[in-house]
Structure 1
């Protein structure tokens, strides 16, 4: 039987004998001399395991830093890069071939046009039958041929602005134009395909970049913003006519406003014209050979036509818009839009 003295002693946590002389502050248990040493050795073993784990992680981190290119995520990124480059090279080669074919067709067309001019020159020289009118016509024709040859307008490159790696493609957009000049506070954006008037009322003239001397060309526009009582003009003007805000009164102006106004050589004829509303798509046909222009509202499927007096509106012709109300906005569309 244990004595009352033994019952007051602290028991060892391992052997359960009343020899608990050492108390561990970490686990709050008491140990006899022998088992206190054993407990300390166990703590030392656990400490060594923690140090080993630390050293292992440290070594792995060092190896990863030194050999970063071998990390699986880096290898995945490298593979994506290689695949992307290969795809880009394949698309680029495909587009080079397609573009070469398109440019060869343009060259063939240019040769035919030059041959036609050559035949006219030869015949006129033989007949000694030419005047300033013919000389001006041939000069303008050759300028137009050279401009089209150096900067073809029936083929272009479209670059997708929304992709991380921008996708590009050849666009068969037909003859196109771009806004190039305004007489007032108009803002030309998106490589000349969009023009926006300032936030004040008042007329401004807008002209296209291209010059039209021969052939026929269809330009399409979308009216992206126009007030319900807005005023807008579509037509042509001679390159040689100075720009001015009220350009619809210029002597070489031909075209229509949406307010029942037809302009011939700058003269106003208050006759019914096509309605134009915000969102409408307008097609303007410039026919240099027949010396006419036509305007079509695609929503209404209605067309109006004007004959051009080339003594009033000398070649080359230029695309001609006039905007009036604040923030009026017009976009040139590609043929496939």
Structure 2
């Protein structure tokens, strides 16, 4: 008869077979000595759970006493403080930029007002003035009054979508609305400085803008309102230090583009430079981008999408820069666009 050897059950702690007890919780076996130790360990865990329970209850009591202690409310408070600081910094930067712009614009206004005053004094001393002079002086003063209350290149901060942006375009345009201000060689300036037009005689004439540019990026748009077919027109920049002259394309320090694929670098013609092909027609809208920081200018014809870039040698064309327009054929017109 075969003998039976039932499988021995051992204590999980000491591997002995004497006095075994089975824990219904963990389903492990313990001898007489270690079953008490196991119960002590269970008691220790019970104490820890009780402490955790009491600690959590105390947290709930505190949060019910002061709802601001709730984690989500604490997170909202932190977000609020960070947002306030960001808004305060943005407002500070916008305010500082706007103050700088106002100071710069008032300086230009003061200079222009001084010029008008000098004209008045000279006319009075020489007793040389007529009704047409009065109309011109009043128009100039009215324009300065309007500009004194406006900053055409600035949009004030708005609060759309809970965002406070910095003043728009402050670095891009640090002067008043650009207009034509100087002319020579039988070119006229009309429409409060927005239009330059050549008279009826065919000859070279030049017009310069009012702005003076030393830093930042500036964009100017023009409409060619009248352009003689296969005519001549020059668009670019020139150093203010160089006197205005009718044959602007020969002006030392002039950089820009002309007719018949002409490209001017320091007043010298480089035919077809960088692949330039003249494609200007009547009613074309042209953009001139002036980047003082990288010392480059870019010409774009919005109709043909042609774009050309020139690097400006600061040694040959020192700051400040001014817009320079050259005209030749009778009644050709170019207008500065303001958007």
Give the alignment's TM-score, normalised by structure 1: 0.51
Q: Secondary structure at the match of 1:192?
A: coil
Deviations 1:148-181 (A, max 9, x none): 997745149xxxxxxxxxxxxxxx9984410001
2 CA distance for matches of 1:242 and 1:143?
Answer: 23
Aligned to 2:335: 331
CA contact (8 A) 1:256 1:263 kept: yes
Deviations 1:257-283 (A, max 9, x none): 132000000111011333100010000
Segments of 5+ residues of structure 1 without an aligned counterpart are 1-103, 115-141, 157-171
Deviations 1:38-97 (A, max 9, x none): xxxxxxxxxxxxxxxxxxxxxxxxxxxxxxxxxxxxxxxxxxxxxxxxxxxxxxxxxxxx
**Corresponding pairs, count:** 190
Deviations 1:197-236 (A, max 9, x none): 1011011011000101110110000000011121000000
Aligned to 1:221: 222
Aligned to 2:193: 192
Q: Secondary structure at the match of 2:246?
A: coil
State whether structure 2 residue 153 is matched by structure 1 residue 154. yes
CA contact (8 A) 1:144 1:212 kept: no
State whether structure 2 residue 319 is matched by structure 1 residue 301. no
1 CA distance for matches of 2:235 and 2:99?
Answer: 33
Q: 1:280 to 1:112 in 2, by over 3 A?
A: same
Q: CA deviation at 1:113?
A: 8.9
Q: CA deviation at 1:243?
A: 1.0
Q: Secondary structure at the match of 1:109?
A: helix
2 CA distance for matches of 1:299 and 1:263?
Answer: 23
State whether structure 2 residue 180 is matched by structure 1 residue 179. yes
Q: CA deviation at 1:307?
A: 0.3
CA contact (8 A) 1:259 1:275 kept: no
Q: 1:112 to 1:191 in 2, by over 3 A?
A: closer
1 CA distance for matches of 2:293 and 2:330?
Answer: 37
1 CA distance for matches of 2:316 and 2:304?
Answer: 31
Segments of 5+ residues of structure 2 without an aligned counterpart are 1-91, 110-146, 156-168
Q: 1:201 to 1:153 in 2, by over 3 A?
A: same
Q: How does 1:71-86 map to 2 (within 5 A)?
A: none
Q: 1:263 to 1:109 in 2, by over 3 A?
A: same
Q: 1:210 to 1:314 in 2, by over 3 A?
A: same
